């Protein structure tokens, strides 16, 4: 037997003599068609989850300043709420923010449409649902996720503000996830703006009247959410909050912000 026949390298492994497997890794991958149950096992799912993170990070990492817009999937085109969502998408994009939504119908579509129509970057992070569902037609960059929790990480990691229009359970879930992250200091550069004082007024009163009164939140917690009806004010609140945060970071010497933030903070800082 030659030395060549007595050794097999398989990736980082080197086999000698009797330890050399009868087949190569490629043969085992390509030749065999056994039971496919393993694709439903948790280790396999972990890889799929990992690949969703990789794809999401790949798509979103170079977006620049972005704002996520949330709201009901059930709002129809031609309604006042749809127009409000569209106007907010438009104004955010015109101010230089990429607009990120859940990529579905209703408010998501409206905000994507507004951003797309003024030439901004319109992003949709879709979710696989039990019924047929495709990304809305106003998305310039889209990715569809299998797992809600991976998708939620993308919204938080790649946007610098949340705008929340009227919506149901999905919207509330997104709102309270963001507020919890801000309240616990997991994200620090993050204004949350509710749009629709009539719709959200009851929630705001309950937060102040019950949550605060009962002592289950802190004095300043209700202020973690801004409330307005005016699309221009939405952009204003976000812009001011970013400049304020960047200025504080700049003054304290920890400059984590983007160049745009830092420049804005430098301009805003006293002489």
Ligand X SMILES: C/C(=C\CNc1ncnc2c1ncn2[C@@H]1O[C@H](COP(=O)(O)O)[C@@H](O)[C@H]1O)CO
**With binding defined as CB under 6 A, does residue 73 bind ligand X?**
yes
**With binding defined as CB under 6 A, does residue 72 bind ligand X?**
yes
Beta carbons of 140 and 121 less than 8 angstroms apart: yes
**With binding defined as CB under 6 A, does residue 126 bind ligand X?**
yes
Q: How far is the CB of 14 from ligand X (least distance, A)?
A: 49
Q: Which helix (H) or strand (E) covers residue 28, if one does?
A: helix 25-31
Look at residues 167, 179, 165, 182 and name the one whose alpha carbon lies nearest to residue 231: 165
Closest residue by beta carbon to ligand X: 170
Q: How far is the CB of 33 from ligand X (least distance, A)?
A: 36
Distance CA 203, CA 109 (A): 25
Look at the chain and count its residues.
271
**With binding defined as CB under 6 A, does residue 86 bind ligand X?**
no
**With binding defined as CB under 6 A, does residue 159 bind ligand X?**
no
Q: How far is the CB of 104 from ligand X (least distance, A)?
A: 2
User: Is 98 or 171 the residue whose CB approaches ligand X more closely?
Assistant: 171
Stretch that binds ligand X, among 19-27, 92-100, 125-133, 254-262 (CB under 6 A): 125-133
**With binding defined as CB under 6 A, does residue 102 bind ligand X?**
yes
With CB under 6 A as the contact rule, the residue among 43, 130, 169, 253 that binds ligand X is 169
DSSP line for 188-217: -S--EEEE-HHHHHHHHHHIIIIIITTTSS
Distance CA 5, CA 16 (A): 9
Distance CA 253, CA 118 (A): 37
User: Is 71 or 191 the residue whose CB approaches ligand X more closely?
Assistant: 71
The DSSP secondary-structure symbol of 271 reads: -
DSSP line for 138-185: T-SEEEEES-HHHHHHHHHHH-S-EEE-S-SHHHHHHHHHHHHHHHTT
Beta carbons of 69 and 99 less than 8 angstroms apart: yes
Q: How far is the CB of 147 from ligand X (least distance, A)?
A: 13
Stretch that binds ligand X, among 115-123, 165-173, 225-233, 242-250 (CB under 6 A): 165-173
**With binding defined as CB under 6 A, does residue 146 bind ligand X?**
no
With CB under 6 A as the contact rule, the residue among 133, 144, 153, 258 that binds ligand X is 133
Residues that bind ligand X (CB under 6 A): 70-74, 102-105, 108, 126-127, 129, 133, 167-171, 174
């Amino acid at each position: 037997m030659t030395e060549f026949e007595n050794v097999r390298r398989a990736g980082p492994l080197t086999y000698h003599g009797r330890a050399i497997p009868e087949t190569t890794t490629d043969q085992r991958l390509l030749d065999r068609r056994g039971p496919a149950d393993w694709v439903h096992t948790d280790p396999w799912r972990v890889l799929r989850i990992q690949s969703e993170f990789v794809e999401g990070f790949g798509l979103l990492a170079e977006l620049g300043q972005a704002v996520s817009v949330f709201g009901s999937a059930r709002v129809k085109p031609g309604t006042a709420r749809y127009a409000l969502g569209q106007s907010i998408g438009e104004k955010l994009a015109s101010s230089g923010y990429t607009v990120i939504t859940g990529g579905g119908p209703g408010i998501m579509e409206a905000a994507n449409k507004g951003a797309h129509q003024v030439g901004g970057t319109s992003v949709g992070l879709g979710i696989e649902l039990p019924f047929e569902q495709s990304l809305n037609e106003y998305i310039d960059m889209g990715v569809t996720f299998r797992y809600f929790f991976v998708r939620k990480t993308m919204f938080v990691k790649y946007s610098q503000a949340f705008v929340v229009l009227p919506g149901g359970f999905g919207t509330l879930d997104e709102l309270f996830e963001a507020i919890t992250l801000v309240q616990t200091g997991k994200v620090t550069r993050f204004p949350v703006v509710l749009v629709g004082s009539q719709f959200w007024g009851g929630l705001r009163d309950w937060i102040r009247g019950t949550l605060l009164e009962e002592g289950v939140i802190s004095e300043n917690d209700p202020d973690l959410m801004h409330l307005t009806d005016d699309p221009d004010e939405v952009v204003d609140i976000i812009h001011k909050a970013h400049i304020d945060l960047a200025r504080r970071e700049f003054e304290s010497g920890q400059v984590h912000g983007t160049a745009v933030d830092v420049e804005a903070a430098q301009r805003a800082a006293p002489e």
